[in-house]
Amino acid sequence: MTDTPTGTTTGEKAADKSGGGTAQAAISDFGIDTTSRSTGEALRDYVARVRGGELGSLPALLGLVVLLVVFSSLSDNFLTLGNIANLLAQGAGKTVIAMGLVFVLLLGEIDLSAGTASGVAASVMALHLVKSGNLLGGMGSTVFYLFCGIIALAIVLAAWMRLWIGVALSAVALLIALIGLPANPWTEMLLALCVGTAIGCVTGFLVAKVRIPSFVVTLALFLAWGGVILQFIGQGGTLGLRDDTLFKVANGNLNTAASWGLFVIAAGGYAAVVLSRHFTRLRKGLVAQPTAMVAAKVAVVVVLSAVVTYLLTLNRSHSDLVKISGVPYVVPIVLVLLVIGTFVLDRTRYGRHIYAVGGNQEAARRAGIDVPKIRMSVFVICSSVAALGAIIYSSKVGSVDPNAGGGNTLLYAVGAAVIGGTSLFGGKGRVSNAVIGGAVLATIDNGLGLLKQPAAVVFVITGLVLLLAASVDALSRRRAAVASR
């Protein structure tokens, strides 16, 4: 490929030579992004950006490759079909929570209550199922009316901030609670999602409008929601999720035909979007990666997806009496959330506003962005997505106990986002970072478990990995600041 702008004709070149305000002069003067690059130029540009501190998910991807090599060499069971499927489902709940936390971290904020907020959503879901839809009888009149009052407050606060999606979903949670709809797995999951939304409305309002630091607000709510979970379930109690649909969310698998259908939709959709965007840029004369590099990237993703799909469609049961095969249900769930989150951040005005507020809040305000509404909305997204994570991890164990969402749930979720490349300082990150970081943490947990390492070793290694990721983030930001001078 040459450096001549795409679509330039011989006549246009002649006009450029004779005219005073030529297109080429405009490109030279204002740096218009209309030059094509060779493969070598693209590689040199990437290396320069990496050296300048724009690492993205590169450290996490390299770390994941190292972990896969190490654990596969130390354990014969690591790359077995059963363990691969288990690895995909093992960290899915925390990964989903991390995907919601990315939106908060992009503003340079933190939500320490995301874990216990997910636990509240899970406990309400389980209580509604166990009590056949009678939350009043399950909670007791005083607690029930307090619960409904908090949801009603969330509706009012969301309406005040004109966050209509928060109003709608919180209202659904209130209606389900007051009407006493019969127990149904789809109703339970909807209830959990809507309760998470209501929690996010309260949290977001305190941070965005009352202007209490997010660390203080969410730390307080972390403790408060933990008490709410204990009140709903009881000390030492457990609420079982005895429903096939709920159990299959994290433990079920697609059949062979559906697994290959997912491959066609996911891999084919990825290829279509990437190639379409690439050729559109070429057609409009904008800078684009060399076609060979784009094609190679698409080919790698498609081939790897095909290999993984094929392996997962094989029978991985150790018994001749039972057949276990197919892609786990959590895979399409995570993929859908990944696509939606990526689209929102990359292709919508709302996503641009999030990056703008995270990059420079005052500049965003001066540009006419409703900063308080954006700040509140990310906490609503975080808590809502955390509720989806709660459905997954509750399904995995088949019950909800007083420790739901507590312990290391939040720490792993924040760790997944940061390890994957999302900055703790705001303005830099993608939803895919949470997925990559979640894969790293799940691999560590799974691999060390197969090696029969004690929990102490798992915590130490996970903590060191998170510390390393935070250090890389801080150093890369410092290097980027120096390079921009």
State the average pLDDT for the chain: 86
The range of the structural domain enclosing residue 275 comes to: 253-327
Per-residue pLDDT at 477: 67
Is-above-0.85 flag for pTM? yes
Q: Is residue 310 part of a domain?
A: yes
Q: What mean pLDDT do residues 448-477 have?
A: 82
Question: H-helix or E-strand containing 240?
Answer: strand 239-240
Q: Is residue 341 part of a domain?
A: yes
* One domain, residues 317 and 373: no
Res. 13: pLDDT tops 50:
no
Q: Is residue 31 part of a domain?
A: no
Q: Which amino acid is at 159?
A: A
Q: Is residue 315 part of a domain?
A: yes
* One domain, residues 167 and 236: yes
Per-residue pLDDT at 36: 59
Q: Per residue in 424-435, pLDDT tens? A: 888 888 999 999
* One domain, residues 203 and 282: no
Q: Per residue in 360-381, pLDDT tens? A: 999 999 999 999 999 999 999 9
Q: Which amino acid is at 240?
A: G
**Contacts by 140-149, CB closer than 8 A, 24 or more apart:** 143/231, 143/232, 144/177, 147/177, 148/174, 148/177, 148/178
Residue 9's pLDDT band, with cuts at 50, 70 and 90, is very low
Res. 53: pLDDT tops 70:
no
DSSP string, 347-415: HSHHHHHHHHHHH-HHHHHHTT--HHHHHHHHHHHHHHHHHHHHHHHHHHHTEE-TTTT-TTHHHHHHH
Q: Is residue 65 part of a domain?
A: yes
Per-residue pLDDT at 230: 92
Per-residue pLDDT at 150: 96
Q: Is residue 370 part of a domain?
A: yes
Higher pLDDT, 45 or 145: 145
How would you classify the pairing of strands 399-400 and 239-240?
antiparallel
* One domain, residues 247 and 379: yes
Q: Is residue 311 part of a domain?
A: yes
* One domain, residues 245 and 388: yes
Out of 327, 342, 368, a domain closes at 327
* One domain, residues 184 and 321: no
Q: Per residue in 149-188, pLDDT tens? A: 999 999 999 999 999 999 999 999 999 999 988 989 999 9
Q: What mean pLDDT do residues 254-258 have?
A: 94
* One domain, residues 245 and 345: yes
* One domain, residues 134 and 228: yes
Res. 254: pLDDT tops 90:
yes
* 243 CB-near residues (< 8 Å, 6+ apart): 129, 185, 188
| High-pLDDT (> 70) share of the chain, % | 88
* One domain, residues 88 and 222: yes
Helix/strand/coil for 22: coil
* One domain, residues 413 and 302: no
Out of 265, 298, 327, a domain closes at 327
Count of alpha carbons within 13 Å of 127, Cβ hemisphere only?
30
Q: Number of structural domains, the chain? A: 2
Q: State how far the Cα of 370 lies from the Cα of 329, in Å rounded to an integer.
A: 38
